[in-house]
Structure 1
Amino acid sequence: MPTDCIPFRDTQYFSSLICDYLEEKPELKPFYNRFPKLENFEAQIKEKSDFKGLSASHRQVLASVLEQQYSDLKASEATQLNISLLKEANTFTVTTGHQLNLFTGPLYFLYKIVSTINLTKELKVAYPNQHFVPIYWMATEDHDFDEINYFNFKGKKIQWNRADGGAVGEFSTEGLEDVFELYTKELGVGKAADELRTLFSEAYLNHDNLADATRFLADTLFSDLGLVILDGNDRELKRAFIPYIEQDILLQTSSQEVSKTNTLLANIPNTHYNIQVNPREINLFYLSKDSRERIIFEDDIYKVIDTNITFTKAEILKEIHEFPERFSPNVIMRPLFQEVVLPNLCYIGGGGELAYWLQLKDYFEAVKVPFPMLLLRNSVLIKTQQQTKKLEKLNISNRDLFYKRDTFINKKVRRISNIDIDFSKQKKHLQEQFSEMYALAEQTDASFVGAVKAQEHKQIKGLEHLEKRLLKAQKKKLADQVSRMTDLQNQLFPNQSLQERAVNFSELYLEFGDQLIPKLVLDLQPLNQEFLILNL
């Protein structure tokens, strides 16, 4: 099917840090291990194979945990095979992570997972002696409910209102009946609408907590493709993480290393990179029922803030060994937990995620854990056939669509107007005339140069004012065409945001039905690091 690609920098929706990373700017090389190219995976495989934490018994525990987590779910043969393969020394993973957004949240949830699945396919062709398993790491321990309790559908916010508190994976799904009723009214009629109703109902009304509901939802969408879904909030998995929990509690290693890296990033000459996350002294939470609160060290005592829970050094070390599941890594330590638990080669994430991963390499080196490759997930703009025809009729290119609203309108009005609204030639001619006057002024009276400059500025401003007035008049005259153009851009860039960040997958499912994901699998190429435009 027809596709087009645009460099990420040209879209103007991605940070300079991510664009510089994709262009492999040498200044950023110290902040990552290997750039995600197919030929670089050979060395990554060897490095991960040599990691002492990746023992046969560790792999057995991982597979056993997954089998238990899938015990109430009839996984596909492809997924069951991949779980079994994780026991083998020649099996590796490609991982993406995502919050437990209601009904997947933004559309890019699909792109993350399809990117992950497709990369494992490419790796299997390039390295046939190894096996590669796609992993979706559920962020069940997150506690920012406001980030996940809604999704956008047809311009409306479908929201779940309930009391906040604790790790979101354990949230009861009670109350989602009201959300279902609201959503089902908006869906309308038809086969695809009925399938979405069934999917929402079976995921959220037939499961007791948000983790189980999300696992069912993702498995239903992707299990035939072998996706393995992992909940890291598990006692046995965290038992393997005990040495790193102890190190952070006693030595604050993550804080020291990430702080040094942040300073290095901030001081790269001729750049203005935003620091995505700043470490705390201790980057762990303490989990209890309905609570996930930070651990701090104060007055020689470890305290769980906003609670009465305190520990001496001996007590907290005992607690770590007896109840490792109560210790929850924050955004700084969660990537390390993932890489300790999984035989992982590559992490696939969005721009914001990769930005904070780029702050972690020195921390990984300090604790002697291999740092994974970092791959920006596929980004996609999907156009329907009807939208494509309208865009062609209005002579709007794919690149035109990425302009901000005012620039988009101005450029299009200039292009379709039957009069020339560009005064560049007049300005150039004026500047040439004034250059002669400058020469004359310098020969007669140098003090007259300022007056010439002021007059030049005044006349250039006058031309710019006339140009703006003419453009405004033409916008009014061409109001019908402007309206049609902006309506189309609004459909594809809701609220002037990328489609993938604003729209839920169910809107496109109504259009394309159960062929939506197969079409994405066919066209998304994770190692082709450009923004993809799909005409479906």
Structure 2
Amino acid sequence: MNVVPEPLPGGPALARGFMDQDEKAAKFYGGHFQPLQNKRQRAAWLDESASARADRGRLTEVLRDYNAKYNNHEAVRLSLDLLERPETLVVAGGQQSGLFTGPLLVVYKAVTAILAAKEASRELGRPVVPLFWIAGEDHDWDEVNHTYVLNRSGEIAKLKIEAPETGRSSVSHIEVDGENWEPPLAQLEELLQESEFKAGMLELVQAAARKGSMCAAFAEIMGALFGKFGLVLLDSADPALRRLEQPFFRSLIAGNETLEDAYHKTASELKEEGFQLQADVAEGGANLFYIHEGARLLLIRKDCVFTDRKGTISFSREELLDLLDRYPERFSNNVLTRPLMQDYLLPVLATVLGQGEISYWGITGRAFEQMGLQMPLIVPRMSFTIVEGTLHKHMEKYGLTFGDVLEGLEEKKRRWLEAQDELELGRRFDEVKAAFADMYDPLLEQIGTVQAGLIKLGGSNKEKILDQISFLQGKVQDAMAKQSEAALRQWERIERSLMPLGRLQERVYNIVYYLNRYGLSWLDGLMELPADYSGTHRIIYM
């Protein structure tokens, strides 16, 4: 692998400002992961505040039970043994549980957490374990039920899994039986090209599918890929975990108005600085979900009661706290309280975030303080685009850079096609049309002196003749394009591989395609790349 930095334009201004360490943006965060001094200060604070977090022993037991089911590796068991010790810290990252792990960025987030934990452990001289937070409590099934691969012909293929009526149930609680898994598994087998690794990849995803839910399948595959690196998995919808979170949920409910005020004040400051908010800070928002008859409902405060937008449920604060005592598994966080809960549960030295996540975490700074916490250090997720060897040769052949692909190739492809016209037929057709018009226009003026109505007829006749010349020109261009058909397919493959659906490759394609081509050793190679926590996008030339 050859890795080349390729900074990307754009992105949320707040995240960009943080990664560039612009003071205007950086003041909303706990600090960047890169300076060693930041790590030492954060570690010292975690040591001092240990008693305010969830009980390590109980937490470790919950994680042992979960990982024994899906991620039962010796390295993971060692990580959990370390986590039980009071001096051990965590680098955490997380994502929803997508089909077959979802897009590549999920894999890059896990890689970042593992490498960052290893680096921090070496620098601080104490254990730091990597942990992946599976957002199983999320209820947007349509967001996680599909993924994309390149098929044998180099075209974009969508894989999708159907499930019974999901309503607003948490993804972790949606049972998906074998019959529903069969279509995407069969489609994957058909789409992937034959390789020495294909049987192993299919066996991996088939074994994951037998676990019965999207989250369980996700955990099984993530464990198979990263368990040997000691990556601990956590499902945020685990009922046993929810019981550990109960005291913090109580604090979130008891101090709900003050917490909302903290979010609003920071949101106002961000807008005053010219930054766009990446998460909604609603008036009266409780920033918590309650599961009612299987549906995950977002709570708001209205007339001194906690309810949902449709008024399906309604509880006083005391009633809600009573429900929390009896049914903690019915409660879950929203996007603004999840960072706080993570910091209550775990001794988080640093958290791995993408640019969108960095932007909405900026809203939470004052809320951390309100809850007696401090925002952890931020590690921008490592970001890559994979350029396979043949593809790279095609790009060199046509003089294309990754920046060209980002901008779109249509205009460059058009100019390239024109350059293939060695007979200059395009120019000559244009000359013929111009010459015809030069000869025909004076004739139109003359026939107008014979009879005025002939001018209109002559103009119509002129347009028909020009249309016929253009028709022939189009046929010639089609014939030339057919001669360049193989080359045009290479142009299309470049664009589909690097910017599928007009988006970065890491946001669309699934890792299974690459593992099928290169095997698990490709992932090992990814783990050996130089770590970069600046947020700079990099190109991997295979």
Q: Does TM, scored on the shorter chain, surpass 0.5?
A: yes
Instruction: Name the counterpart of 1:132.
Output: 128
Could you tell me how far apart the structure 2 residues matched to 1:111 and 1:476 are? 43
Is the 1:107–1:504 Cα contact (8 Å) retained in structure 2? yes
Shift of residue 365, structure 1, vs aligned partner: 0.9
Instruction: Name the counterpart of 1:452.
Output: none
**Is 1:509 matched with 2:515?**
yes
Could you tell me how far apart the structure 1 residues matched to 2:236 and 2:3 are? 37
**Is 1:172 matched with 2:175?**
yes
Unaligned runs of 5+ in 2: 151-155, 423-476
**Is 1:338 matched with 2:336?**
no
- What amino acid does structure 1 have at the position aligned with 2:127? H
The Cα offsets for residues 346-384 of structure 1, whole Å up to 9 and x where unpaired, read as: 111211111111111111011111211112111101111
Is the 2:71–2:220 Cα contact (8 Å) retained in structure 1? no
The Cα offsets for residues 97-148 of structure 1, whole Å up to 9 and x where unpaired, read as: 11011111111111010011111111122122x1011101010100011100
Shift of residue 518, structure 1, vs aligned partner: 0.7
Give TM-score, length-normalised by structure 2.
0.81
Instruction: Name the counterpart of 1:322.
Output: 326
The Cα offsets for residues 291-316 of structure 1, whole Å up to 9 and x where unpaired, read as: 21122333443335657544333222
Paired residue for 1:51, among 49, 52, 68? Answer: 49
Instruction: Name the counterpart of 1:265.
Output: 270
Shift of residue 246, structure 1, vs aligned partner: 3.0
Is the 1:118–1:524 Cα contact (8 Å) retained in structure 2? no
Instruction: Name the counterpart of 1:282.
Output: 286
The Cα offsets for residues 415-460 of structure 1, whole Å up to 9 and x where unpaired, read as: 9999xxxxxxxxxxxxxxxxxxxxxxxxxxxxxxxxxxxxxxxxxx
Residues 126/248 of structure 1: CA separation in 2 closer, same or farther (3 Å cut):
closer
Instruction: Name the counterpart of 2:211.
Output: 207
Q: Highest Rg: 1 or 2?
A: 2
Instruction: Name the counterpart of 1:197.
Output: 202
Give TM-score, length-normalised by structure 1.
0.82
Paired residue for 1:182, among 184, 187, 210? Answer: 187
Paired residue for 2:60, among 60, 63, 72? Answer: 63
Shift of residue 323, structure 1, vs aligned partner: 2.2
Residues 267/512 of structure 1: CA separation in 2 closer, same or farther (3 Å cut):
same
Shift of residue 333, structure 1, vs aligned partner: 0.7
Shift of residue 322, structure 1, vs aligned partner: 2.5
Is the 1:237–1:341 Cα contact (8 Å) retained in structure 2? no
Paired residue for 1:121, among 114, 118, 122? Answer: 118
Matches within 5 A, 1:371-410: 371-406=375-410, 409=413
- What amino acid does structure 1 have at the position aligned with 2:194? V
Is the 1:61–1:237 Cα contact (8 Å) retained in structure 2? no
Answer with 259-268 or 141-150: which moved more.
259-268
Instruction: Name the counterpart of 1:529.
Output: 535
Unaligned runs of 5+ in 1: 419-474
Could you tell me how far apart the structure 1 residues matched to 2:87 and 2:34 are? 20
Matched residue of 2:197: which SS? helix
Paired residue for 2:97, among 93, 96, 100? Answer: 100
Instruction: Name the counterpart of 2:149.
Output: 153
- What amino acid does structure 1 have at the position aligned with 2:276? Y
**Is 1:76 matched with 2:73?**
yes
Could you tell me how far apart the structure 1 residues matched to 2:34 and 2:418 are? 42
Paired residue for 1:292, among 293, 296, 319? Answer: 296
Could you tell me how far apart the structure 2 residues matched to 1:28 and 1:528 are? 15
Shift of residue 515, structure 1, vs aligned partner: 1.6
Could you tell me how far apart the structure 2 residues matched to 1:353 and 1:74 are? 26
Matched residue of 1:100: which SS? coil
Instruction: Name the counterpart of 1:25.
Output: 22
Could you tell me how far apart the structure 2 residues matched to 1:275 and 1:497 are? 19
Count of residue correspondences: 473
Is the 1:346–1:373 Cα contact (8 Å) retained in structure 2? yes
Residues 173/275 of structure 1: CA separation in 2 closer, same or farther (3 Å cut):
closer
Matched residue of 1:532: which SS? strand
- What amino acid does structure 1 have at the position aligned with 2:234? L
Shift of residue 329, structure 1, vs aligned partner: 0.8
Matched residue of 1:525: which SS? coil
Shift of residue 330, structure 1, vs aligned partner: 0.9
Instruction: Name the counterpart of 1:492.
Output: 498
The Cα offsets for residues 53-107 of structure 1, whole Å up to 9 and x where unpaired, read as: 456x711011010112133346111100001111111100001111011111111
Could you tell me how far apart the structure 2 residues matched to 1:505 and 1:326 are? 34
The Cα offsets for residues 231-268 of structure 1, whole Å up to 9 and x where unpaired, read as: 12244533443444234334333321111111111111
- What amino acid does structure 2 have at the position aligned with 1:75? N
Answer with 100-109 or 209-218: which moved more.
209-218
Shift of residue 522, structure 1, vs aligned partner: 1.2
Is the 1:53–1:340 Cα contact (8 Å) retained in structure 2? no
Matched residue of 2:528: which SS? helix
Residues 54/518 of structure 1: CA separation in 2 closer, same or farther (3 Å cut):
farther
Could you tell me how far apart the structure 1 residues matched to 2:308 and 2:534 are? 45
Shift of residue 272, structure 1, vs aligned partner: 4.8
The Cα offsets for residues 20-70 of structure 1, whole Å up to 9 and x where unpaired, read as: 221111111220011221412111111122124456x71101101011213
Could you tell me how far apart the structure 2 residues matched to 1:482 and 1:185 are? 25
Is the 2:248–2:344 Cα contact (8 Å) retained in structure 1? no
- What amino acid does structure 1 have at the position aligned with 2:145? N
Residues 351/142 of structure 1: CA separation in 2 closer, same or farther (3 Å cut):
same
Shift of residue 521, structure 1, vs aligned partner: 0.5
Answer with 520-529 or 92-101: which moved more.
520-529
Could you tell me how far apart the structure 2 residues matched to 1:415 and 1:131 are? 60
Could you tell me how far apart the structure 2 residues matched to 1:124 and 1:115 are? 14
Is the 1:215–1:229 Cα contact (8 Å) retained in structure 2? yes
Identity within the alignment, %: 25
Is the 1:95–1:116 Cα contact (8 Å) retained in structure 2? yes
Residues 74/112 of structure 1: CA separation in 2 closer, same or farther (3 Å cut):
closer
The Cα offsets for residues 208-238 of structure 1, whole Å up to 9 and x where unpaired, read as: 2333222111101111111100112244533
- What amino acid does structure 2 have at the position aligned with 1:278? V
**Is 1:252 matched with 2:257?**
yes
- What amino acid does structure 2 have at the position aligned with 1:147? E
What do you get for the CA RMSD once the two structures are aligned? Answer: 2.7
